[in-house]
Structure 1
């Protein structure tokens, strides 16, 4: 593990951030502040080097970005993480910037409705409309759906929903520390929780309870896409860290894929934490190299 990764993980561990999703009342206040502050917007590099368009879908903003120079036919449909409850942050935009710089891709970023004020059906309706617009503009064969954490779960769930409805599928999926099971039902997660500095079993269950509609069980599709079939889906590249609780989700997804010979490739990085691919550490640079290789594009 790099020195920079050790330092960042130490800072997060001593910050006590994990407790925000453990103690009733604290998480709700944290979310209320996040929603009042609003979503982060594309930074100065993106504003300077890309044409940035903001449109409205179902009352929510959608960002479309296209590089002004050295663009490619690749289009990335990016779904941000945050437990379905927190806004997109500058760290997400910084990662999107790196994707554009390395691939020349245009990018769609839906700012989807968040829980607990909204449930999965409202968010999926907005994201489904956003994806279909992307298909009409770029062609499904040129689209890669990508997401981190809850966005990774959303990416898988969206693809399963498209398959179920016999709609056009993206060409590939990239899932970064995907959050696929709202029940945290794997016994192995109790052990992984000890090394995870951000995510907890109780936190997963609380977040899941905000995402489901009244009377629903969390172990159903699309709330927990891990429990839906993974056949007839695009090739997937999945990243996880061996010290994160959601490693279990990725391992179980990979196992399901292996049982039916589905094209799911898992890269589990030793001692890495949740969504480490977005952090300014050498391991994230290596993961980005692997993503670019998987996308099979020449560097812009």
Structure 2
């Protein structure tokens, strides 16, 4: 059964015509600059008002880190947002990040990776790998969490595959690509979790 809250979200999305952006190639090209606007990269005022946020630049691309109010416990989430590799994050991404920082006392970094069609997959993955390494450099391996949703889930998978071996962090990946790859398989339990 769909909750009242979920129904309200679905209705609001329909009213805002979110999916219409992807309806046709011509329509998408026409509206692309608005969806890639630099203003959409910045955390919204509702988050900036009460959360300490730092900005780090990696090869011309911003990475924003939300910091906990109290003492940092060593947990650091590196988030690669969704958006079909063509959109910047939306306000709900920032609210989600803010809620996790408040609940977990963690640092939460969201990287504004380069977007298509201006950049290809080689550029996107190379700069994203570098951002992950730079942002996680002062985080103990056991406190590293690689998080990606949708397109960001695919990017995160690439990074996670590269970090095999002594890597002791965690990964949380949400992606249609991953769902297709696992179709029909039962989820495996992760040892110790």
Within 1, Cα distance between the matches of 2:103 and 2:181?
Answer: 26
Within 2, Cα distance between the matches of 1:41 and 1:9?
Answer: 25
Cross-structure match for 1:179: 176
Question: Which runs of 5 or more structure 2 residues have no equivalent in the other structure?
Answer: none
Cross-structure match for 2:149: 148
Cross-structure match for 2:137: 136
Cross-structure match for 2:190: 263
SS in structure 2 at match of 1:29: helix
Deviation track 1:11-44 (CA, whole Å, cap 9, x = no partner) reads 4346544343231200111212222454332234
- Determine whether 1:158 maps to 2:159: yes
Note the C-alpha offset of 1:46: 3.8
SS in structure 2 at match of 1:114: coil
Note the C-alpha offset of 1:142: 0.6
Report if the CA contact (8 A) 2:149-2:173 is conserved: yes
Compared CA separation, residues 17 and 45, structure 1 to 2 (3 A)? closer
Compared CA separation, residues 56 and 102, structure 1 to 2 (3 A)? same
Compared CA separation, residues 172 and 19, structure 1 to 2 (3 A)? same
Cross-structure match for 2:79: 78
Cross-structure match for 2:167: 169
SS in structure 1 at match of 2:176: coil
Cross-structure match for 1:87: 88
> Which consecutive segments of 4 or more residues in structure 1 shift more than 6 A?
none
Report if the CA contact (8 A) 2:63-2:111 is conserved: yes
Note the C-alpha offset of 1:57: 0.8
Cross-structure match for 2:180: 249
Number of equivalenced pairs: 191
Question: Which runs of 5 or more structure 1 residues have no equivalent in the other structure?
Answer: 181-225, 227-247, 265-293, 295-300
Compared CA separation, residues 262 and 119, structure 1 to 2 (3 A)? farther
Cross-structure match for 2:48: 47
Within 1, Cα distance between the matches of 2:12 and 2:143?
Answer: 39
